[in-house]
Structure 1
Amino acid sequence: MSGAPGPAPDSLELAALLCSRVCHDLISPVGAIVNGLEVLDDNPKPEDKEFALDLIRKSAKTASARLQFCRLAFGAAGSAGAQIDLGDAQAMARGHIEDGKTTISWNLPRLLLPKNRVKLLLNMLVIAQQTIPRGGVLTVEPLGEGETMSFRVSASGLNARLPQNIADILSSAELAATDAHSVQPYYTRLLAQACGLSVSLAAEGEAMVVKAA
């Protein structure tokens, strides 16, 4: 956890931790593709073959969506000073997060923003999603206008909860030791600081709200 004693990770360790996080997100769908191919290799019955093909199709779609999201949320996503279309960010967020349980209500205008602000928004969505483990609605709203716009992401769902460890990582006054489990909120805080903002997670009524201001 970020609150554990020890030095903050250097750039090399941070890169390694983020790579571990991306690999964790991809293991499940890629593993399902491999399982489906193994079924096909065993000369399955017609019904088993169709099941395997359906599993491969769905898992490949999931893996592609996660790769595109991770490339933007964690990757370089263009040269220094690049801007990213919020419409593209919306499409990637929906592809990665929306499923039968969770939907996104996107209330941002379509415009270009500095890439770190867009990366910050996507990471805020990841944090908000973790507060509604049984699914619900993530509502994305702007704070301010233009290139200095920041964001508010509200998560509402059955048994919404506040992960105190994540809230502490976001609000801590000091950069401290982290690991593969806590690197994503840690990285979110670094992105906020790079944008001249601070990011927080708190309960507001029955909703859990991630805010950058």
Structure 2
Amino acid sequence: MTDLSALVSSRICHDMMNPLGAIGNGLELLAMAGGPGAATGPELALIAESVARATARLRLFRLAFGAPAPGQSLGRDALRSILEENFETPRLSLAADLPEATLPRSMAQLGLLALLCAEAALPRGGQLALTLAPAGGRVRAEADTLRPDPAHWAPLTGAGPATPPGAAQVQFALLPAAARAAGRALDVNHEGCALTLRF
């Protein structure tokens, strides 16, 4: 999936990380420099929280939407950190079964794209489960309110015509391309309150 759009995504995410890191460092310096009450107000706390959230999303987008280099791998701790920062929220829970060893970055990318697809089917939140191994993976989504849009899900397995997605659904266009590049087939099973995506 190394194309111009993936390279642009990688570049944007890379270049945005530096100023966000500088803002975070500046907030820490403000907290250390002042006396009582320095840099501890609700305004600065909100800024710090926003910087942390933006940094977490950039890390996710860089891995999910960026261009993986041939042979590039990702450590378990780095991937787990990205997962926890982005898929452990008040409305979502995530159980992740990851290998002890490093994973090919292409397989980690497939897992994140699949999670983003599954998250789109959980409008009111729910439970996500991710299993990743060098040979393949699986994402499972469960919720009382599970709404996978057929217009997005059917094209993943060739069961429906591909339609250009909106910006919020770009993962549905990227996942099949990433799967083809990694030599993996996609399989989707939706039964009641559960949806499983294998790759």
Which band: TM-score by shorter chain?
0.7 to 0.9
**1:100 is matched with which residue?**
90
Q: Is the 8 A contact 2:165 2:172 kept in 1?
A: no
State how 1:110-189 maps to structure 2 within 5 Å: 110-142=100-132, 147-148=134-135, 150-172=136-158, 178-181=164-167, 182-189=169-176
Runs of 4+ in 1 over 6 A off after TM superposition: none
**1:193 is matched with which residue?**
180
Out of 44, 60, 63, the residue aligned to residue 54 of structure 2 is 63
> Percent of aligned positions with the same letter in both sequences?
28
**1:8 is matched with which residue?**
none
Take 1:169 and 1:54, find their aligned partners in 2: how far apart are those partners? 43
Structure 1, unpaired ranges of 5+: 1-10, 34-45
**2:45 is matched with which residue?**
54
Relative to 1, partners in 2 of residues 1:174 and 1:100: Cα closer, same or farther, differing over 3 Å?
A: closer
Q: Is the 8 A contact 2:187 2:197 kept in 1?
A: yes
Take 2:6 and 2:59, find their aligned partners in 1: how far apart are those partners? 18
Out of 57, 64, 82, the residue aligned to residue 73 of structure 1 is 64
Q: What displacement does 1:179 show?
A: 4.6
Take 1:177 and 1:166, find their aligned partners in 2: how far apart are those partners? 8
RMSD: 3.0
Q: What displacement does 1:173 show?
A: 7.3
Q: Is the 8 A contact 2:76 2:99 kept in 1?
A: yes
Structure 2, unpaired ranges of 5+: 24-36
What secondary structure sits across from 1:202 in the alignment?
Answer: strand
Post-superposition Cα deviations, 1:119-143, rounded to whole Å, max 9, x if no partner, equal: 111111111111111111111124x
Take 2:159 and 2:71, find their aligned partners in 1: how far apart are those partners? 27
Higher relative contact order, chain-length normalized (CA < 8 Å, sep 6+): 1
**1:84 is matched with which residue?**
74
Number of residue equivalences: 172
| TM-score of the two chains, using structure 1 as the length reference | 0.69
Q: What displacement does 1:169 show?
A: 2.7
